[in-house]
Amino acid sequence: MRLFFLLLLLFNVLGAISQDPNYSSLLLDGSLTRNADAVIRQDEMVVDLLSQKSMVIKRKKVVTVLNESGDKYAVAFVGYDNGRRVKNIEARVYNAAGDQIERIREKNFKDVSAVDGGTLYSDSRVKYYPYTPINYPYTLEFTYEVSTKNTGELPASWQFLEDFRVSTENSSIKINFATPDLKPLTKEINLEGVEIFKEENNNSILFQAKNVEAIKEEGMCPSFFKLVPQIRIRPVNFHYEGYDATINDWNDLGVWMSDNLLRGRDELPVATVSKVKKLVDGVEDDLEKAKIIYKYVQENTRYISVQVGIGGMRPISAIDVDRVKYGDCKGLSNYTKALLKAVGVEAYYVHVEAGREQVDFDEEFADLAQGNHVILAIPYKGRYYWIDCTSSVHPFGFVGDFTDNRKAFVIKPDGGEIVSTPAYLDEQNYQLTKASYRLQVDGSIEGDVRIDTYGIQYDDRFTLAERSDDKVKEHYKDYWNYVNNLTIGSYRFENDQDQVHFTEHLSVDAAHYASKSGDRLIFAANAFNKYGFVPVRYRNRRLPFEIQRGFMDEDEITIGIPEGYAIEAMPESISIENKYGRYDLAFELLDGSIRLKRKLLVKSGMYPNTEYDRFRDFLKNVSKYDNAKVVVKPML
């Protein structure tokens, strides 16, 4: 009882001296700190759509950081440019008790370019303050106001959680619209289990949520974007970069972008047009012309990283890119499109959400905000060929795992459409390993390996050909990290870009690969393609799991045993097949050698949490059999 009154007195004292007791981290509910590195105490946005050409956004965000891992969520920054004005920017920092310990005024914020490496985007800037914490927990409050004519930049979504391991105490967005035609459309996503307050009337919409617990990330779970509770928002009638728009669907948006943001951006200098026409002189086939132009762009331009939203949605003109020889994804794609047009090849500008996570455009929700990257689609004989103009190394028509298998927005002069990019499915992501090695009496091995890869497995390996000798050898020592004392001898690579096929040839040796037990030698037969990934075990798995890209490996390894030795023990052949894939392992005795044949297929798919243990058991068995040992001993 005495302890209770002492604690009560302590909290009363802390509350009395705090400037804002609501920011005391000591008062946080345990449900919000569980599985959390940070807590969003308050995230409030008010959007005023004053007219089709006037929007004001006011935001206040308060984050309590519980530990070092949460620092990345206590950020004070806002972007602006010539069409986006920022004012009333300020930050305050509070200690664990809720006492204000620092106030950061606008003059203390750093003001830097949003882009490195170029001057074409010089009006895109960021104001930020890099706060360095002294103790944990601490709280950062950040406020600002933005005004713009570009009402098309209405926030595209409002997430009630910021990331895995971040909870939310209070979050709200209110959109006020001066006239009914400015009312945006909204779409509710993943709100099951979240208590949402919604209020809508003739001139405003409000969404609010309180006490949303953090989601703990689990291995192989879907991306946070697919799980986060959110409201998607899009304007129907808006203004952007000098143009009014009324958008009801993707077709409307395609026409509007073609007529306004892309029109006139494809003009080229006469000298450049003449140059590229000479490059394709005598070539009749449009696809062959496109390959020549793509190679020209790869060899004569460089990419600078700029997000789609920075510098606006409109690409830099082809004339400017031709002059400086660099650009972001928008600029390089538009430039390549212009070069293709100059030689009579049609190509379409494409918005896509790029990254290893496959994220689709929402077919029923047409807006400017979806997508973070631009590529091109070239129509040819009833299908599209896709090229990423920011890559200086990828083969023509191969997009790799950066933009594969997702719905993207293809912008054509007569309208827009949602189209799926190429999918590299399961068996198409193929690796074939053929190897032979000889086991020596001292337990060492020496041999030759050939690895052929296709699909996404090609994408993972073809850049080996561009690496230094040290980096190549470092790669193989990491790839075969279960082989101690590995030495890489000679190696060479073949990169067939037409067939998207990469081949590795190398010689290797390793001392003490086999362990000795008396006069016996014990070793794992599969020296060159063990599957070592076993998913983490969970006592109470909560989230579904996803295999975004399946693959198939086939291996054929011939093992020579020392002269005068015989096989004492060898693993039995095994076959396992289920909904997640298939595993086959077989051994064959030859004259003085062993032949191992192996096949592993892992299928892509989304699976419920209740199946996780079965999938994990499948891969555990694969790992176990891949490590199966052979025992040889001298013949009597």
- CATH code of 426-634, in short, is 2.60.120.1130
- Per-residue pLDDT at 9 exceeds 80: no
Q: How far is CA 610 from CA 42, 444, 576, in A?
A: 35, 45, 20
- Which pLDDT band, with edges at 50, 70 and 90, does 18 fall under? very low
For residues 18-32, average pLDDT? 80
% of the chain exceeding 90 in pLDDT: 90
Question: Other CB atoms closer than 10 Å to residue 34's CB: what's the count?
Answer: 11
Length of the chain: 636
Tokens of 567: 């096989």
- Per-residue pLDDT at 394 exceeds 70: yes
Lowest mean pLDDT among 117-126, 354-363, 369-378: 117-126
- Which pLDDT band, with edges at 50, 70 and 90, does 10 fall under? very low
Site of tokens 């007569």: 414
For residues 154-162, average pLDDT? 97
For residues 239-249, average pLDDT? 95
Tokens of 6: 């002492």
- Which pLDDT band, with edges at 50, 70 and 90, does 441 fall under? very high
For residues 70-93, average pLDDT? 94
Widest CA span in the chain: 97
d(CA 505, CA 82): 55
Asked whether the CA dihedral 35, 37, 42, 45 is positive or negative, the reply is: negative
Q: What local confidence, expressed as pLDDT, does residue 476 receive?
A: 97
Tokens of 125: 């800037």
- Which pLDDT band, with edges at 50, 70 and 90, does 20 fall under? low
For residues 302-315, average pLDDT? 72
- Which pLDDT band, with edges at 50, 70 and 90, does 121 fall under? low
Mean of per-residue pLDDT scores for the chain = 93
For residues 207-222, average pLDDT? 97
- Per-residue pLDDT at 380 exceeds 60: yes
- Per-residue pLDDT at 64 exceeds 80: yes
For residues 261-273, average pLDDT? 96
Q: What local confidence, expressed as pLDDT, does residue 359 receive?
A: 95
Lowest mean pLDDT among 15-19, 378-382, 394-398, 623-627: 15-19
- Which pLDDT band, with edges at 50, 70 and 90, does 532 fall under? confident
pLDDT digits (tens, 9 = 90+) for 398-427: 999 999 999 999 999 999 999 999 999 999
Strand order in the sheet with 138-148: 100-104, 84-94, 138-148, 54-65, 38-51, 166-177, 204-212, 196-201
What is the CA angle 458-464-470, rounded to 5?
A: 155
For residues 220-246, average pLDDT? 96
What φ, ψ does residue 58 adopt, rounded to 5°? -115, 130
Phi-psi region of 449 (alpha: psi -120 to 50; beta: other; left: phi over 0): beta
Q: What local confidence, expressed as pLDDT, does residue 447 receive?
A: 97
Q: How far is CA 157 from CA 218, 230, 403, in A?
A: 24, 7, 22
HEC string of 256-315 equals HHHHHHCCCCCCCCHHHHHHHHHHCCCCCCHHHHHHHHHHHHHHHCEECCCCCCCCCCCC
CB 439 within 8 A of CB 562: yes
Lowest mean pLDDT among 182-186, 388-392, 491-495, 589-593: 589-593
- Which pLDDT band, with edges at 50, 70 and 90, does 6 fall under? very low
What φ, ψ does residue 523 adopt, rounded to 5°? -155, 155
For residues 163-188, average pLDDT? 98
Q: What local confidence, expressed as pLDDT, does residue 83 receive?
A: 87
User: Considering only CA atoms, which of 489, 474, 472, 501 is closest in space to residue 437?
Assistant: 489
CB 173 within 8 A of CB 154: no
CATH class of 2-240: mainly beta
Q: What local confidence, expressed as pLDDT, does residue 21 receive?
A: 46
DSSP E strands, 440-537? 445-454, 486-496, 501-510, 515-517, 520-524
Q: What local confidence, expressed as pLDDT, does residue 3 receive?
A: 34
CB 429 within 8 A of CB 550: yes
CB 486 within 8 A of CB 476: yes
For residues 334-359, average pLDDT? 97
- Per-residue pLDDT at 496 exceeds 80: yes
Give the residue extent of every domain in the chain: 2-240, 247-420, 426-634
- Which pLDDT band, with edges at 50, 70 and 90, does 350 fall under? very high
What is the CA angle 492-496-502, rounded to 5?
A: 55
The DSSP result for 53-95, as a single string, is TEEEEEEEEEEEE-SGGGGGG--EEEEEBTTEEEEEEEEEEE-
- Per-residue pLDDT at 617 exceeds 90: yes
Q: Which CATH number fits domain 247-420: 3.10.620.30, 3.40.50.700, 3.40.50.1100, 3.40.50.720?
A: 3.10.620.30
